[in-house]
Structures are given as structure tokens and as C-alpha cells.
Structure 1
Amino acid sequence: MKRLNFVPSLLFPVLFLLPLSLLLSGCQSAYYSTLEKVGYHKRDILIDRVEDTQQSQEEAQQQFQSALEHFQAVVNFDGGELQTLYDTLKADFDKSQDAAEEVSSRINKVEDVAEALFEEWEGELALYQNQSLKRDSERKLRQTKQKYQQLITAMRRAEKTMQPVLTTFQDQVLYLKHNLNARAIASLKGELRNIQQDINQLIREMQRSIRESKAFIQQLQQG
């Protein structure tokens, strides 16, 4: 499988020839065309981006789990430096927010190249002279679209589970910022169970999305 994470040296001159304004304007069709000239096709890019999203989801799971553990340490405070606990929780919130943004960015990139691939695939159907080959290609396109829809639905569902956790964490961090005392920390204990439930839900949805990613990649590779 061709991976874009480690672009061969021969690809760099081609990419640098692309005007920066072209890349920034989101003119992806020209970008994909340039990559295809050096052997990186939309199917390869899609597989690469699905794998990148899978990796970012795995990292997000770990980060949210770490944040939960530190929140537990805060609400179970039994002496020590309160400021240190707060600083750790604030850092975890920031990292969790970054992880969530990275997941969303990766999903957007998957959608972008998938749309380009399907548009190209549909356009090429009109070029067939052999009707048997055309019907087979149409069938594979339908199957790939169906599998992709399952994938992107799972990805977006997992993405949504991160926001309730971030909202709750943000509330706790903001509250502690101006109420850094044992009484304030004790008042947060009631939120612990809710956060645990939200993060457990998040992990379940992430795992479901990762399974769909693996199944989709397998289908593309077999196709």
C-alpha cells in the first residue's frame, strides 16, 4: 500500500511546484491530479487518510482516558498542592481539545477525498464500451459507497461523543480556576460518574469507528 506519510523524495519537487494559494484555496482536484501523476491515486490517498483517522481516534481515546484519571485524582484530593492538580487538569483539557480537533480534521479529509474518488469513478462509467465490465464496476461502486457510508457515519458518531466530555471538563476547569479550595473540589465529586459514563461511551464509539475503518480498508484493498 502506498503511504503519503512518508512521501518519496521525488514527490517533493512536484508538490513545491504547486502554488501555495492553490493549496490554501482548497482546490483539491488539482492537488489530487498532481499526486496521480507521480503514482498516488485517490484510492491510495483514501486508504491513507482512513488509517490516519484511525490513529488519531486511538490517540484521542488515550488522551481522554488520561484526563479522566487526572480528574479522579482531583476529586479524590486528600492533601497536597492544589495548584499542581489544577495545572495538570487544565493541561489535560487542552490536550483533549487538541485531540478532538485533530480527529475532526482527519474525518473532513477522509470525506474530501472520498467525494473526489466517487465522482471520478461515476464519471468513468460512461467511458466503458464493454457492458459487462461496466456493470461490474457499477456494482463495486455501489458496494464501496455503502461501506463508506457505514464508515463515515461511525466516524461522525464517535466525533460527537467527544463534545459532551469536553464541555464538562471545561466547566470543571473554569470553576476550579477561581475556586481552588478543598470545598470546591468536593463539590465536583458528583460529576465524576457522569464523566466516566461519557468517556466509556466515547471509547465504545471510537472502537466501533475503528472496526469500520479496518473493514472499509480491507474492502478497498480487495477491490
Structure 2
Amino acid sequence: MRFLILLLASAAMFSIAGCESTYYNAMEKVGVHKRDILVDRVSEAKDAQEDAQEQFKDALTEFRSVVSFNGGNLESHYNRLNSEFEDSEAAAKEVTDRINKVESVAEALFDEWQDELKLYSNDRLRADSANKLQATKRQYTTLIKSMRRAEKSIDPVLNALRDNVLYLKHNLNASAISALKGELAGIDRDVQQLIGAMEKAINESDAFIKQLK
């Protein structure tokens, strides 16, 4: 059974890789090269991170509203907080998906670039292209590490929100609010760290796009 699962997983990975390769080839035929696709995908990842920043700010605002509850319909507060949590999960998934797409095309671009160095007959041009490849790789490495750090900073916030949403779901009373108040400082800190990490990744994205263009 384990062998079958591994076989199916490998087949799925090859299928995805094959689809990506077909896509790149088709785009190249209409004049859109991997470098262009990489620029677009970095920009899309940047947009996803900006959207996630705003979403987690909204979730934090709603959590503050819950812990300052002072009468009224507590269930409606729970419903709004749960909605913000679900939107935050969706935003986190979008960030991960966009970063994965950046990695996919970057790897394809760098492999192609490296292979094509062998086609040069002019040593000077080959050396210059090789230097540019290494410089681009270095800046890309800085970018993707920054993106992954920002992505990783999402987990503590999502986990804390999930815990508090679940707790509130099963304890819709004033004592639950008291318990949640003790969580606010930690969630606030984690959201601020997330926003800072994403801001750094966004700035790295701008610098990388500027270099490629």
C-alpha cells in the first residue's frame, strides 16, 4: 500500500511538471518567455502577500472586538470571527500557492539558462551570461527565502486563531471572553511579526522584479 501511494504521488508530480513544461513551451511560441512568466508570478505572489497582510489585520480587529464584548449577541461575534479565520486560511493558501508557482518557473528558467551556456561559441559572451545567471540566482535565493519566512510566520497566527475560534464556538459565555482576553497580546504580537515579514518579502519582490526588467 505504501509503495502504491508513493507511486501515485510520483506520477502526480511528473504530471504536474509535464503540464508546467507544456505551458512554458506554449507561451514561448507566442513570445512569452520564462523570464516574463517569473516576473508575473513574483508580482502575483507579492499581491497575495499584500492581501494576506490586510486579511490578518482584519482578523486581529475582529478578535479585539470579541474580547471587548460587553453584552449583546455573542454568537454573532463568533460568526464574524469564524468568517475572518476562514478568510485568513484562504489567504494563507493563496500565498503558498503563489510562492510555489514562483519556485516552479524559476527552477525551469535557471535550468534552461545553464544549459544554453553550452551553446555559445563566443567565450566572452558566455562568461558574461554566466555571471548574470549567478547574480540573478543570488538575488532569487534572497527573495525566495524571504517569501518562505513570511509564509512560515502565518502558522502561529492561524493556529492561535483556530484555537480561539474553536474555544469560543463551544463556550459562548462571558467566562469564555475572559479566557480569550489573555490570548490577545500573543496574537497581536504574532500578527505584527507576520506583517513585518511580509513587508520585507514584498520589498524583496520589488527589487527582484526591477532587476529582471
User: TM-score, normalised on structure 2?
Assistant: 0.92
Q: Displacement, 1:186? A: 1.1
Please say which of residues 28-37 and 191-200 is displaced more in the overlay.
Answer: 28-37
Q: Which one of the candidate residues 55, 65, 82 is aligned to 1:63?
A: 55
Q: Percent identity?
A: 55
CA distance, structure 1, for counterparts of residue 51 and residue 209 of structure 2: 19
Q: Which runs of 5+ in 1 are unaligned?
A: 1-20
Question: Which of 159, 164, 167 is the equivalent residue of 1:167?
Answer: 159
Match of 1:97 in 2: 89
Is residue 137 of structure 1 aligned with residue 129 of structure 2? yes
Structure 2 counterpart of 1:214? 206
Please report the RMSD computed on the Cα atoms of aligned residues, expressed in angstroms.
Answer: 1.2
Query: How many residues are matched?
Result: 200
For residues 30-62 of structure 1, the C-alpha deviation after alignment (integer angstroms, 9 at most, x for no partner) is: 210111001110000000000000000000000
Determine the C-alpha separation between the residues in 2 that align with 1:119 and 1:128: 16
Which residue in 2 is equivalent to 1:47?
39
Verify: 1:196 aligned to 2:196, yes or no: no
**CA-to-aligned-CA distance 1:99-125 (integer Å, 9 cap, x gap):** 000000000000000000000000000
Name 1:84's counterpart in structure 2.
76
1:108 to 2:100 alignment:
yes
User: In 2, Cα distance between the equivalents of 1:84 and 1:53?
Assistant: 33
- Partner Cα distance (2:50, 2:39) in 1: 17
Unaligned runs of 5+ in 2: 1-11
CA separation in 2, counterparts of 1:75 and 1:24? Answer: 48
- Once residues 178 and 82 of structure 2 are traced to their aligned partners in structure 1, the CA distance between those partners, rounded to angstroms, is 18
TM-score normalized with structure 1 length: 0.88
How far apart are residue 26 of structure 1 and its match? 3.5
Greater Cα shift, 88-97 or 29-38: 29-38
CA distance, structure 2, for counterparts of residue 123 and residue 25 of structure 1: 22
User: By percentage of residues, which structure has more helix?
Assistant: 2
Provide the residue aligned with 1:4 in structure 2: none
